[in-house]
Chain A
Amino acid sequence: MTMSWDIFYIYATAAAACWVSGTIFAFRNQRKGAIATSLIGSIIFLIFIAGMWVSMQRPPLRTMGETRLWYSFFLSLIGLFLYIKYRYSWMMAFGTLMSVVFTCINLLKPEIHSTTLMPALQSPWFVPHVIVYMFSYAMMGAATLFAGYLWLRKSPTEASDEEFGICDNLVRIGWAFLSLGMTMGALWAKEAWGDYWTWDPKETWALATWLSYLLYLHLRPANKNQNLLFSLLIFSFILLQMCWWGINFLPSAQGTSIHTY
């Protein structure tokens, strides 16, 4: 059977059921069951992505709906990884919640109609550039949720060194991937148009996002002011949203960005 968006709901439901079951297992301290079930959910999702790649004869990385597929997939894996590493059930719950939300957005507002790949996108840089960015966005999503939890929880204590450490690691890995994605994009742009950087609105907001997370990483070593740091992380994530999809609605970017999809 050829994979198509028409049967996405089957894979989405199966994956979401596995992710939710995995989270329930995690809260019941059934660790093996939680890991296995959640992993099966991610594998089901990956099968759909791979099937779409084969049936469309191009990587499913072009439209907003397609990038959201990867975002859901990576978030589920990051939630699982964080659960395995730190044993926090709610981290898996965060990953599951975000993956299911983005899967539901894809079901309700598909934005999947384009099936072609314009010549500029036919580059060896296309797949690594977008996948690296999506993974980075997922890491930053996890960091933001974690920071929000630490900041707003009812417990009167400040975030501990260990909790700050987890947050720092998420941002550090996410920022390294942001750097990789941005550099790959620059090398690709040079090969396609002769310029590494053209201050296209997408590039400008990608730089703002990158600088904002870089500011967090430089502030952290000598700072534990959680109001400043966590608000900066949430602000950085707003910039990231502007870069990802916000520029499609931003008046200053209308008609000027070549990164529209």
Chain B
Amino acid sequence: MLSQHYKKAVTRCACMLFAGTALQLFMGAVNASLLAYPLGIVLAANYLYLLILISFNKEKWKWTTHFTGRATYITSLTAMLVLTIIFGLVRQDGAEGAMGALGFSQMKNSWTFNIFLLHFTSVIGVKAIDDLRNIRKQKLHTAVMHTAFFIILLAGIFGSGDKQRVTLTTIQGEPTNTGVAEDGKKTELPFIIRLKDFSLEEYPPHIHIYADDNLSKEHIIIKEKGDSATLGKWHIECKEYLEMAGCKPGDSLYRPMNHVGATTAIQVRATAGNDTVEGWISCGSHIFPGSALPLPDGQMLAMPRREVKKYLSQVEVSTGDEIKNFDIAVNSPATIGAWKIYQSGYDNARGRWSTTSTFECVKDSWQPATHTAMWLILAAGVFALFANRTKKKRK
């Protein structure tokens, strides 16, 4: 049987579900941009003050039981779990229909999800403040965990309106400071980016068997002249390896070529029993078409586009006051004030000959708080491994 506390907690969840559904049906999705500076930070400060008041007055104010007690956090946690599972089960494409009307096809912007998330955040917030007020050594990691998750949720909710993401495509040598924001509007950035050079490193070519419009999963890797390996029933030997090659239109012979558009080409000899085939294979480029080697059994040896290992943009960023040079690569962004510049893409058709580079410029004013909280979780997670373990009772 459910205790009185649990009955109240479940009723509260039902009310929140009803309120969320009603708001979703009458107002549509939640608009995060309403929380843009200064409203977001003002609301966050007042919200934090309210949670502190709740923590200090929970004995006096009966209504604060909505945010405290075992039944409250168990039901809040369960509700978040159920909603997260629905989040995972429903495709998040904003589709209409019953799921769309309830906001479940765009869950992160749905009223129901955000009301439950705010309540969950409040419960953790009050618990974190309680923990910090009554901190004891053996509960340090719990207090840190609660506090860190509260900071992350607080920054995630009230900072959601402040985040800016601008996509900017640069052409080599041409300075630009105008990109496209997430809503599709042209946006001017507070700095100018000039792409000085773009370079792209590729993995060695893979040779696959092409049959029935499909490339085989099995493949061999050719790194240099003389390499040999077995693919299916074919023994393949590399007779010539050209990292930079080209061929005349209609010709099947590749020659070394040090020029824009040069592609990788290898001459192979494939042997299976009495069958021997020799010829060129190339992945092609935006200038030269690819080339496959037909085999007697109707299959072909083919080289797909070489996989990208690393790409890097050398840029010059000017803020008006100063000019800075950066090498920007995936996982290695540049920082300019509150902005970070991420390597996002390049001209895929031209591959290593690309003369353009695409960047995502992100401004996240709440990042220092979130980042600190993340590292606190890492520290608390490590501490939790060693602390508060259930003691083994020896028989």
Instruction: Say whether A associates with B.
Output: yes
Residue positions of A touching B, CB distance < 8 A: 85-86, 113, 115-120, 122-123, 161-162, 164-166, 168-169, 172-173, 176-177, 179-180, 183-184, 186-188, 190-197, 199, 201, 204-205, 207-208, 211-212, 214-215, 218-219, 222, 239, 242, 247, 250-253, 256
A119 with B330: in contact, given A165-B393, A211-B84, A252-B89 (CB under 8 Å)? yes
Contact call B108/A208, Cβ cutoff below 8 A: no
Contact call A218/B73, Cβ cutoff below 8 A: yes
Output the nearest chain A residue to B216 by Cβ-Cβ distance.
A113
Contact call B385/A252, Cβ cutoff below 8 A: no
Neighbouring A residues of B165 by C-beta, 8 Å: 194
- In the complex, whether B257 has a CB less than 8 A from a CB of chain A is no
Contact call B108/A199, Cβ cutoff below 8 A: yes
Neighbouring B residues of A183 by C-beta, 8 Å: 374, 377-378, 381
Output the nearest chain A residue to B218 by Cβ-Cβ distance.
A113
In the assembled complex, the CB of B389 is this many whole angstroms from the nearest CB of chain A, namely 6
Output the nearest chain A residue to B312 by Cβ-Cβ distance.
A119
Residue positions of B touching A, CB distance < 8 A: 70, 73-74, 77-78, 80-81, 84-85, 87-93, 107-108, 145, 152, 156, 165, 203, 217-219, 221, 307-311, 329-333, 340, 342, 360, 362, 364, 367, 370-371, 374, 377-378, 380-382, 384-385, 388-393, 395
A215 with B77: in contact, given A191-B333, A192-B342, A194-B165 (CB under 8 Å)? yes
Pairs A–B under 8 Å by Cβ, sample size 11: A113-B217, A119-B330, A177-B381, A180-B381, A183-B381, A191-B332, A193-B342, A199-B92, A204-B88, A215-B77, A252-B89
Neighbouring A residues of B380 by C-beta, 8 Å: 179
Output the nearest chain A residue to B330 by Cβ-Cβ distance.
A119
Output the nearest chain A residue to B329 by Cβ-Cβ distance.
A119
Output the nearest chain B residue to A117 by Cβ-Cβ distance.
B309
Contact call B392/A208, Cβ cutoff below 8 A: no
If A161-B393, A205-B88, A211-B81 are given as contacts, then 5 extra A-B residue pairs at C-beta distance below 8 Å, sorted by A number, are A113-B218, A115-B203, A119-B329, A179-B377, A239-B85
10 pairs of A and B residues whose beta carbons are closest in the complex: A194-B362, A165-B390, A119-B330, A252-B91, A176-B384, A180-B381, A208-B84, A204-B88, A211-B81, A123-B331
Contact call A204/B84, Cβ cutoff below 8 A: yes
Contact call B374/A196, Cβ cutoff below 8 A: yes
In the assembled complex, the CB of B354 is this many whole angstroms from the nearest CB of chain A, namely 14
In the assembled complex, the CB of A63 is this many whole angstroms from the nearest CB of chain B, namely 11
Contact call A180/B382, Cβ cutoff below 8 A: yes
Neighbouring A residues of B156 by C-beta, 8 Å: 197
Instruction: Please tell me which one of the listed residues A113, A208, A256 contacts residue B81 in the complex, with CB atoms under 8 A apart.
Output: A208
Grouping DSSP codes into helix (H, G, I), strand (E, B) and loop, the A interface class, with mixed when no group exceeds half, is helix
Output the nearest chain B residue to A198 by Cβ-Cβ distance.
B108
Contact call B310/A179, Cβ cutoff below 8 A: no
Contact call A118/B308, Cβ cutoff below 8 A: yes
A178–B141 alpha-carbon span in the complex (Å): 15
Neighbouring A residues of B309 by C-beta, 8 Å: 116-117, 119, 122
Output the nearest chain B residue to A160 by Cβ-Cβ distance.
B393
Instruction: Please tell me which one of the listed residues B331, B370, B374 contacts residue A119 in the complex, with CB atoms under 8 A apart.
Output: B331
A194 with B360: in contact, given A122-B310, A184-B378, A207-B84 (CB under 8 Å)? yes
Instruction: Please tell me which one of the listed residues B84, B308, B384 contacts residue A172 in the complex, with CB atoms under 8 A apart.
Output: B384
A194–B367 alpha-carbon span in the complex (Å): 10
Contact call B331/A122, Cβ cutoff below 8 A: yes
Contact call A169/B77, Cβ cutoff below 8 A: no
In the assembled complex, the CB of B9 is this many whole angstroms from the nearest CB of chain A, namely 13
Neighbouring B residues of A113 by C-beta, 8 Å: 217-219
Neighbouring A residues of B360 by C-beta, 8 Å: 193-194
From B378, B389, B390, B392, name the one whose CB has the most chain A CB atoms within 10 angstroms.
B390
Neighbouring A residues of B389 by C-beta, 8 Å: 169, 172
A133–B370 alpha-carbon span in the complex (Å): 22
Contact call B81/A212, Cβ cutoff below 8 A: yes
Contact call B385/A176, Cβ cutoff below 8 A: yes
In the assembled complex, the CB of A31 is this many whole angstroms from the nearest CB of chain B, namely 17
Neighbouring B residues of A242 by C-beta, 8 Å: 88
From B78, B81, B330, B380, name the one whose CB has the most chain A CB atoms within 10 angstroms.
B81
Neighbouring B residues of A179 by C-beta, 8 Å: 145, 377, 380-381, 384
Output the nearest chain A residue to B390 by Cβ-Cβ distance.
A165
A120–B366 alpha-carbon span in the complex (Å): 24
A211 with B378: in contact, given A194-B165, A239-B85, A252-B88 (CB under 8 Å)? no
